[in-house]
Amino acid sequence: MDQFIFAAEVVLNGLMTGVMYALVALGFVLIFKASGVFNYAQGVLALFAALTLVGIQNGQVPFAHLINAALGTQLHHFGWTVPSVMAIALTALVMVGLAFLIEKLVLQHLVGQEPIILFMATIGLAYFLEGLGDVMWGADIKTLDVGLPQGISDSIETMTDAWFGYGFFIDRLDIWATVIAALLVAALVAFAQYTKQGRAMRAVADDHQAALSVGISLRFIWVMVWSIAGFVALVAGIMWGTKSGVQFSLSLIALKALPVLMLGGFTSIPGAIVGGLIIGVGEKLFEFTVGPMVGGATENWFAYVLALLFLVFRPQGLFGERIIERV
């Protein structure tokens, strides 16, 4: 009975962790859906967004080291702090500006190129943004606090203790992540299905040239999609950065999104969520049941094994579009 109760706690935590994975996967899906490009830089976008958010919040002078070295000044902070909500809004604006620059300087020159060329461009972009983030905000680990609660939920612990004689652990940050992810997905699905821009985005995803021929502005769509992906990266960066502090390993969270994408499909927003939940629960349950027999640390590889198993039966992922090419 104890094992069953513990397993239930593991499943609940797996679901919550899955939501955190899905938040990262969503950004990949958006850009792939709109441009057929696997955006290697999505993890770095989350890092850059989180760095910018903390920098703005703390009134940090961007490029301070560079300015000080060039001018012999001792600038570090402006001497003010910015409230969280305003800092998030300003960071979102920075991400829109970044999307505009990416389109102007990178994507515009690659219209009509093979997806592999665009993929390679995003690899370059990832390295560039990582370096830019370092020069702009510094490499130290920054504490991120936007007011999200962390730690065990007392009410859930008390309630489950009364029911099962064992209080479940649920992190309050995970509960918030779930609510925010649900709102984000609902908004994104509604946008893609019911708005003119959303439909234009899907048209661009189907065929760049055809979309251009019916008067859709490819440039506008790309700026829009990269802006939304930047905003999603900001949300993912806030959630993961609250837990670990904002540091350069934040970009590695992209690795957690890959099995989710393989499983859920690269083109489906609900697929990213369902994929995240399956991976989250699957890896946690496997670690709980099989982990102790094989020495533990099974989660990283099991996530990929699980995704590969799904691929055997549905190569396009659970919710991906089936592509049939006739020759």
Partner 1 sequence: MKLTFPALVAAAVMAAAPAMADLVVPNMSYRTGPYAANGIPYADGFADYFTLLNERDGGIGGQLIQVPECETAYNTEKGVECYEALKSQNPLVLNPLSTGITYQLIPKIGVDGIPLYTPGYGRTSAKDGSVFEWVFNAPANYWDGASVAVKHILDQEGGDLSGKKIALVYHNSAYGKEPIRTLEELSEKHGFELTLLPVDAPGQEQKSQWLQIRREKPDYVIMYAWGVMNQVALQEAVNIRFPMDKFIGIWWSGSENDVRPAGAGADGYKALTFHGVGQDYPLYEDLKTHVYDAGKAAGAGDQTGTVLYSRGAYAALVIAEAIRKAQELAGTSEITAAQMRDGFEALEITAERMEELGLPDFGQPISLSCENHGGDGLARIQQWNASEGKWNLITDFIEPDAEILDPLIKADSAAYAQEAGLTPRCN
- Closest distance of CB 258 from partner 1, Å: 14
Q: Which of 73, 81, 108, 150 binds partner 1 (CB under 8 A)?
A: 150
295 Cβ contact partners less than 8 Å away, ≥ 6 residues apart:
none
Torsion of CA 165, 171, 175, 176, to 10 degrees: 150
Closest CA relative to residue 42, chosen from 108, 88, 99, 89: 99
Closest CA relative to residue 278, chosen from 25, 15, 28, 6: 15
Residue ranges of alpha helices (H) inside 60-111 are 64-71, 84-105
Q: Which of 63, 68, 219, 318 binds partner 1 (CB under 8 A)?
A: 68
Closest CB to partner 1 among residues 17, 91 = 17
Closest CB to partner 1 among residues 79, 295 = 295
84 touching partner 1, by CB under 8 A: no
- Find the binding residues for partner 1 in span 266-305 (CB under 8 A): 284, 287-288, 291, 295-297, 299-300
- Closest distance of CB 19 from partner 1, Å: 12
DSSP string over 282-327: HHHHHHHHTHHHHTS--HHHHHHHHHHHHHHH-TT-SSPPPP----
- Closest distance of CB 223 from partner 1, Å: 30
Tokens representing 157? 């612990």
- Find the binding residues for partner 1 in span 213-252 (CB under 8 A): 240, 243-245, 247-252
Closest CB to partner 1 among residues 192, 258 = 258
Q: Which residues bind partner 1 (CB under 8 A)?
A: 6, 9-10, 13, 17, 20, 65, 68, 130-131, 134, 138-141, 143-145, 150-152, 169, 171, 240, 243-245, 247-253, 256, 284, 287-288, 291, 295-297, 299-300
